[in-house]
Amino acid sequence: MQWENDVARGLDALRAAVAELLLGVQVAPAGVPHALLTETASDRDVDTPMRGSGGSDGFGDAELAASSEESEADRTRLIALVELARTGDSEAFGLLYDHYQQSVYRFLFYRTRSATLAEDLTSETFFRALRSMTNFRWQGKDFGAWLMTIARNLATDHFKAGRTRLEQTTEDMGLHDDATEGPEDAVLAGLTNEILLTALKDLPDEQRDCLIMRFLQGMSIAETAAVLGRSDGAVKQLQLRGVRNLAKLMPDGIRD
């Protein structure tokens, strides 16, 4: 599946970022772009306002409608669907669910490390979104960022309430067993997906969520900033601190 390929590439990029800090040299596995530590040309500005239908949306915020989709046709379509869903159109909301469900579930899976819990929280995310559609306001934010904020808050509340223990299972996303030729290759091989994902859970909440969104979700700095309620610069700092702290959490055999 495409999203699994995207996650695998994201894990490779995160692995390279951690390895760079451990080794003090740049590491770029074949086929993987440099470690996402800065904004790239492909990053999209989620805060760029997009014109609505002349302000006649009934909510008074059509001119602030925004979407992070790369295609103008997709941006126009999704904004229109949100506008319809805000008026109570259940079919439009269903189409929004189809578009965003996978990304919300993926975030929650890597946030909770439990497929069952991620499914439950994904359902609750869309239930709350549906219930609150008439209260949704654009404010220059992407609708997907609003959904991700709901999902993130649900996950945070769940663990604060202590209703379950964080599961330690990790799905195999394809371990790297290529032949090693030097210290860089040895470190990359040792940084398995299981080690990375297990260490992620020990990071502070904002750093963990930032790395999940940037590396595993492939979200831009602007999109991540919209979800976290931070500036672009703050997100860059969160990402850098997160990668540094992740490197410190690596097993002794890898850090030595």
Q: What is the pLDDT of residues 219-256, one digit of tens each?
A: 888 889 989 989 899 999 999 999 889 888 877 655 55
pTM: 0.63
- Supply the Cα-derived Rg of the chain in whole angstroms: 19
The DSSP code sequence of 45-70 is -TT-----STT-SSSS-GGG-B---S
Look up residue 210 and give its amino acid: C
Residue 98 has pLDDT above 80, yes or no: yes
**Tokens 């979407």 sit on residue:** 67
State the architecture of 2-26+42-166+182-255 in CATH terms.
Orthogonal Bundle (1.10)
Residue 172 has pLDDT above 80, yes or no: no
> What pLDDT band is residue 34 in, cutting at 50, 70 and 90?
very low
The pLDDT assigned to 255 comes to 53
- Closest Cα partner for 184 from 27, 79, 6? 27
The dihedral built from the CA positions of residue 105, 97, 150 and 48, taken in this order, carries a sign that is positive
* Domain residue limits, the chain: 2-26+42-166+182-255
| SS3 (DSSP) at 182 | coil
Q: What mean pLDDT is reported for the chain?
A: 75
Residue length, the chain?
256
Is pLDDT larger for residue 13 or for residue 3?
A: 13
The answer to whether the beta carbons of residues 158 and 125 sit under 8 Å apart is no
Please tell me what DSSP assigns to residue 194: H
Q: How much is the average pLDDT of 147-169?
A: 73
The pLDDT assigned to 190 comes to 53
The answer to whether the beta carbons of residues 196 and 14 sit under 8 Å apart is yes
Is pLDDT larger for residue 2 or for residue 113?
A: 113
The most confident of 175-184, 195-204, 207-216, by mean pLDDT: 207-216
Residue 93 has pLDDT above 90, yes or no: yes
